[in-house]
Structure 1
Amino acid sequence: MKTLAKFSFLLMLVITISCNSSSNDTIKFETDDQGFIILSNEEIEDIVKRSYQYVAMYNVNQKMALAESGMTTRGYNKGLKNTKLLDHTAKFISRPNNDVLYQTAMLDLRKDPIILQFPAIDSKYVSLMVTGYDHYVNIPLSTVNGDFDKPTSILFYTKRTENYNGEDIEGIDKKMELTGDFNSAVLRVMPHANEPEKYQKIIDQINNIKGVSLSEYLGKPKLPPEEVDFPAYGATDADIFENNLLEVMQFIFNHTTFDPDFKLDQAVLDRYEKLGVVPGKKFDPSTTAKIDGEKFKEVSLKVKKESFAIFSDPKQSKKLSTTLFLPKGSAGLESLLVPSIVGPIGQPAKEALYPPVLTEDGKPINAMNDYKISLSKEEMPPAKAFWSFTLYEKENGFFIPNDHKKYSVGENSGMKLNDDGGIDIYISAEKPDGVPAENWLPINRADLEMDVILRIYQPDLEKIKTWKSPTAVKI
């Protein structure tokens, strides 16, 4: 009897529920004894990989819009003008940089288009990047394309924007249809921080950036904001995979434009339809599958580890570099997965490259040791604009806290070239004698794995084919 009872207890249950309140269609979830939908490890991993770009960007955008502290706009259709380089308190995103000034606007395009108005900006490098929850990257304006030499206004909207049908508006230079209702618009400005007069001129130009709704631009009353109940974002991406993945994905599906002819779009929609999550549906736990959050978190951490291994492999990383941060339809799954994990909202190769700096023996850079990165004049990064080396703790991708507030070596944060035009950069707990402070990246002695990311702005893509990224040598 005990054996029979145990067997009965472990029998799979078949539960039939409605997957859409406006449809008579039903979906059957085969569940285990805990009520979790039965999925193989391969199926869970596939779902995690196809979800990561959305989960990562939901976390990033929500933190920039809604976090209580840090680099946050404290709401949508609000902007943040930043006139100081970031420090170790910046924790809104993995691997932020310390070489440009971020100007951020969080856009809610459900009711009204938003117009961003830019003055001419007197910097050798400026780019505007706009990204929704799907993590496809749009660069509507960049000095690489000759932009920002004159004032420019750009209008953003989606297929769902209520107060706009795509018509031309007098005085608007560009219009762009985005795939998501909620977006981050990030302006990167190289501030020439070591040229005081030019730096102040750029700050004045930054302070003249404006954002308005279309209604305001046309002299009409601003439309009242529409209430929205955002699902909780996570301290990490693994938190969402564990706690509220289906709720977050339902919200994303309802506010994202999917292309019926794009395989990646259809694949993620297919996976979630089988879990009871479809576009246009209100999230209801009683009509969606129950997933094993602990298992999804475990798999997400496994996928994260594998993606870091790809990024840390020189051959794979270089091969991927030209396929990252592209518009929709231009990249495969791996090219979306790896940057979503390592460091979201970067730029395509035409704008910037992000080669990692590895050790000679391939072992992780660890704060128990000191390191030196040396480049001769001929080995310097092939940048048409500028470059920088930035140090992070590896797990979360944040700056290493230090009293000197020194997190990178480059033209803005400080650097000194050798007499022959090369450079020696030191990562160490104490500044070595004779080393310029500009070339020192301080660490705290601890058993802590670290990353060094080289950013090359407006790279020479022809020279980059034969150029080799430097290594960190343990002292």
Structure 2
Amino acid sequence: MYNVNNKAAIKNGGWNICDVDTRLKDHTLKLIARPNNDSLYITCTLDLRKEPVILEMPAFDSKYVSLMITGYDHYVNIPLSTRQGDFEKPEKLLIFSERTEGFEEGKQIEGVDHYLEASGDFVSAVFRVMPHANDPDRFERITEQMKAVRLRTLSELRGNAAKKIDDIEFPEVGEKDIDVFENNLLEVMQFVFNHTTFDTDNELDRNVLTAYEPLGVTPGKAYDSEKAAKLDGQRVGRVAERIQDEEMAKSDSMLKNPGLFQPKGKIDLDLLLFQSVFGPIGQPAEEAVYPAITAADGKPMSAQHDYVIQMSADELPPAQAFWSLTLYDTENGFFIPNERKKYSVGENGGMKLNDEGGIKIYIAAEKPEGVPEENWLPLNRGDYGIDVVMRLYVPDLEKFKDWEPPQAEKL
């Protein structure tokens, strides 16, 4: 998450800035794997060292909105969401860390509705907004509401200038997340330790501190390359790649685990390891689940074939907000390029139920005769693998326990 959060800050143009994304993503996006095409994002990068940051939010005319806050430690917090009854009226959320200068926890600020102590000084705050793209008027309303989200420091809320935050130097980020392990692991970890809150009563915290202490990395120290342990960066990188491959091989089963993407104290080491290499960070099961779609013949899906995914009315996903099904290439996790810019089927991306309330979704190089445009995911014929990921927003978790995702049948 050091690489993810800091690259987001670079893209945003710095810290304490919000980038509002009001256009649906397409196949030209190469920044992240398995991007989401049924939500728009507001990505805010926060530096909480000098003073708290306040997010001012309007009411949203959307079926689904959530706010996810994540520090360098990979834990996930969802302080506000439509599932919890939020975003029905304008609200202000104040965010601080244990090290925020001059701020006392529990102190009430006039006009602030919610408070959150983040686990680190540098965090990402990401809004997911379902934009109702199939309703142009509603889409325009929602995107205007997104533009109304405002970030202010506590000083600015009180009518003063924000405190300067240009007094820090960050370790270099990697082109890929795995590059940090090979190039500057100890420098990055020293920085992470210095800007993350640790709990000595938490077993994972104790263990990670114990593991790095012999390498000269402990909270509060300044990194000194002359005194730090000497690591074989290429060997560390190879081990990181091996672990990444091993964890990615588990993705079909792990993504169904309701224990993923939780706050500190609510997730075990195995799940935390998986989500730290799977990337990007997702939401807890209460907000969303991500079951993978597999082929009925048990073989990896290939762009050399066409497929159909069908569900009766009784077999539709148990989503209380909405659901979607998205097509990617296996190697990169990118959208399949097509002129229609159609990458997903669902309420936002477009779908058409049949007279019985069910649906047939076709993944094909050419649209089969009689198939609604909304239910066709275009495929470029070729010798490469394809993946289909289903997303259920605000799932009925009781029904989800017994629900089986549909399978893709080869045509």
For the 8 Å contact 2:155–2:162, the answer to whether it is kept is yes
Corresponding residue number in structure 1 for 2:26? 87
Aligned to 1:415: 351
* 2: CA distance, partners of 1:252 / 1:403: 43
Asked whether 1:117 is paired with 2:61, we answer no
Is residue 70–residue 124 contact of structure 2 (8 Å, CA) maintained in 1? yes
1:425 aligns with 2:361: yes
Residue identity opposite 1:210 in structure 2: R
Give the structure 1 partner of residue 16 of structure 2.
77
Q: 1:296: Cα distance to partner? A: 1.9
One-letter code of the match for 1:64? A
Q: 1:341 to 1:440 in 2, by over 3 A?
A: farther
Q: Which residue of 2 aligns with 1:129?
A: 68
Q: Kindly tell me: are residues 317 and 108 of structure 1, through their superposed partners in 2, closer, same or farther at Cα, counting changes over 3 Å? A: closer
Q: For each residue in 1:18-68, what CA deviation from the matched residue of structure 2 results, as whole angstroms up to 9, or x when unmatched?
A: xxxxxxxxxxxxxxxxxxxxxxxxxxxxxxxxxxxxxxx1222122111xx
Identical-residue share of aligned pairs (%) = 56
Instruction: Confirm or deny: 8 A CA contact 1:63 1:92 kept in the other structure.
Output: no
CA distance in 1, matches of 2:299, 2:223: 45
Between the aligned partners of 2:47 and 2:298, the Cα distance in structure 1 is 44
Matches of 2:180 and 2:372 in 1, distance apart? 44
Cα drift, residue 448 of structure 1? 2.2
**Of 271, 285, 289, which residue of structure 1 is paired with 2:211?**
271
Assess if the C-alpha contact under 8 Å between 2:255 and 2:290 holds in 1. Answer: no
Secondary structure in structure 1 of the residue aligned to 2:142? helix
SS of aligned partner of 1:104: strand
1:91 Cα deviation after fit: 3.4
Distance 2:3 2:301 in 1: 27
SS of 1:463's equivalent in the other structure is helix
| Distance change >3 Å, CA 317–CA 98, structure 1 → 2 | closer
3-state DSSP class of the match of 1:140? Answer: strand
Match for residue 210 of structure 1? Answer: 150
- For residues 189 and 284 of structure 2, what CA distance do their matches in structure 1 show? 26
- Match of residue 17 from structure 1: none
- In 1, Cα distance between equivalents of 2:209 and 2:159: 41
Q: Counterpart in 1 of 2:298?
A: 362
Going from structure 1 to structure 2, the CA distance change for 1:226 and 1:87 (only over 3 Å counts) comes to: same
Matched with 2:337 is 401
Match of 2:132 in 1: 192
Q: CA deviation at 1:317?
A: 4.5
One-letter amino acid matched to 1:323: G
Amino acid at match of 1:401: P
Map of 1:295-374 to 2, 5 A cutoff? 295-313=235-253, 317-318=255-256, 320=257, 322-374=258-310
Deviation at 1:188, TM superposition (A): 0.8
- Change over 3 Å in CA distance of 1:305–1:362 after alignment to 2: farther
Q: Which residue identity is paired with 2:305?
A: N
**Structure 1 residues 462 and 270: CA distance shift in structure 2, 3 A:** same
1:240 corresponds to 2:200: no
Post-superposition Cα deviations, 1:97-126, rounded to whole Å, max 9, x if no partner, equal 000111111101111110001111111111
* Higher Rg: 1
Q: What is the count of residue pairs matched by the alignment? A: 410
**Matched position secondary structure for 1:148:** coil
**In 1, are the aligned partners of 2:296 and 2:409 still within 8 Å (CA)?**
yes
Q: What are the equivalent positions in structure 2 for 1:41-60 lying under 5 Å apart?
A: 57-60=1-4
Q: Which runs of 5+ in 2 are unaligned?
A: none
Task: Go from structure 1 to structure 2 and tell me whether the alpha carbon gap of 1:100 and 1:435 turns closer, same or farther (over 3 Å shift).
Answer: same
Structure 1 unaligned spans of 5+: 1-56, 67-71
RMSD of aligned C-alpha atoms?
A: 1.6
Q: For 1:402 and 1:231, how far apart are their aligned partners in 2? A: 39
Deviation at 1:437, TM superposition (A): 2.4
State the AA in 1 paired with 2:182.
E
- Can you list the C-alpha shifts for 1:309-352, whole angstroms capped at 9, x where unaligned? 22224xx543x2x1011111100012112223223221111111
Alignment check: 8 A CA contact 2:308 2:408 kept = yes
1:376 aligns with 312
Task: State the partner residue of 1:39.
Answer: none
In the alignment, the residues of structure 2 paired with residue 236 and residue 375 of structure 1 have an alpha-carbon distance, to the nearest angstrom, of 38
**Residues 284 and 442 of structure 1, relative CA distance in 2, 3 Å threshold:** farther
Q: What is the letter of the counterpart of residue 277 of structure 1?
A: V
Alpha-carbon shift at residue 370 of structure 1 (Å): 2.1
- Given the alignment, which residue of 136, 160, 166 partners 1:226? 166
TM-score by length of 1: 0.83
Report if aligned partners of 1:64, 1:92 keep a CA contact under 8 Å in 2. Answer: no
Q: In 1, are the aligned partners of 2:4 and 2:177 still within 8 Å (CA)? A: no
Inter-CA distance 144–209: structure 2 relative to 1 (3 Å threshold): same
CA deviation after TM superposition for structure 1 residue 425, in Å: 1.5
Looking at structure 2, the residues matched to 392 and 232 of structure 1 have their Cα atoms a distance apart, in angstroms, of 30
Give the distance between the partners of 2:75 and 2:137, measured in 1 at CA.
37
Letter aligned with residue 94 of structure 1: A
What residue number does 1:24 align with? none
Match of 2:92 in 1: 153
Segment drifting more, 255-264 vs 299-308: 299-308
Which region of structure 1 is more displaced relative to structure 2, 273-282 or 336-345?
Answer: 336-345
Q: Is the 8 A contact 1:260 1:266 kept in 2?
A: yes
- Residue 61 in structure 1 maps to residue 5 in structure 2: yes
What is the alpha-carbon distance in structure 1 between the residues aligned to residue 365 and residue 182 of structure 2?
A: 37
Q: 1:438 aligns with which of 346, 351, 374?
A: 374
Tell me: CA distance 1:125–1:376, structure 2 relative to 1, closer, same or farther (3 Å): same
| Residues 239-294 of structure 1: CA deviation (Å, up to 9, x unaligned) | 12222211211111111111111111111111111212111122222212222222
